[in-house]
A and B are shown apart, each in its own frame.
Chain A
Amino acid sequence: MRKSWWKILAAVLLIYTFTAGFLIKVPDIGNLKQSSRNLFFHVPMWFGQMILLAASMVYSILYLRKPDLRYDIHAAAFAKTGILMGVLGLLTGAIWATYTWGEPWSNDPKQIAVVIALLIYFAYLVLRNAMPDIDKRAKVSAVYNIFAYFIYIPLIMILPRMVESLHPGGKGVEGNPGLNGNDLDSTMAMVFVPAIIGWTLLGTWISTLNIRLYLIRDKNLINAK
């Protein structure tokens, strides 16, 4: 195992999240009851996804500046883990919604937007696999990845806030059960913030495993440059 302090930090923060996340007292918000503890598990999926996809986009920019296949490998691995976290976020959100909004799928703007965003990223993976030429694949998918990120952010951060949404933060949120900024009291923040860092580090760990695997697999291609 490549020892790194941040891998240990990830494990410690996640164990803390899984312990304190169940032990602390949560405020009574709407019909959420104890399910507001999902804040420590469902929401960090999206924070982690955003950070991992941002890392992926940075590596795509780096690739376009200097066409090194290693950048392309990094970009693809981070995007894959980001997509995984997005899918998990969608599934956990559906479970949570079943017991708070009454149904797993309410055509909530954020649900729809995030599915579109995920489809855009699925297309990134399909696009990559559709091109046998390695250099062309790296270049085209780097361009696509940068565009995808700048569509993805408005889709999940801006558009849902401009319309009525069941999710916190949307218009007319007063009538809806849900967490908004004022409901996040300091005890919850004490678990929520470590949870985001822990989940993101775990995602990074999984990504680096993929990266190292691809670096070994493609070492002849990289050295041929």
Chain B
Amino acid sequence: MRNRIYCLLLMLGGLFTGNRLFAQSNGTIEDTMRSNDKIYVVMAVCITILAGLLLYLVLIDRKIAKIEDKQ
């Protein structure tokens, strides 16, 4: 589990630094994010929120399962 969290953090970190590196060299990610009046920024924000909510649900689910197993 811990490994997976580290992986996720690394991926997220990669996304942000990647953007900064590509900012001056017309990278593809940067181009996509800025195209169409930056609507993809909204999309990324929404997906992040959704991912956070789903992760939270999974954690609550695991907590309840643990209590259930103890019963």
Contacts and interface: CB of A to CB of B under 8 A. Distances in A.
Interface in B36-58: 39-40, 42-43, 46-47, 50-51, 54, 57-58
B71 A216 contact: yes
A80 to B, nearest CB: 15
Contacts of A14: 50, 54
A1 B58 contact: yes
Nearest to B70: A216
A147 interface: no
Contacts, number: 42
B64 interface: yes
Judged by DSSP, the binding face of B is helix
Given A18-B46, A209-B64, A34 B39 contact: yes
Interface string B5-17: 0000000000000
A212 B67 CA distance: 10
Interface of A: 1-2, 7, 11, 14-15, 18-19, 22-23, 34, 202, 205-206, 209, 212-213, 216, 219
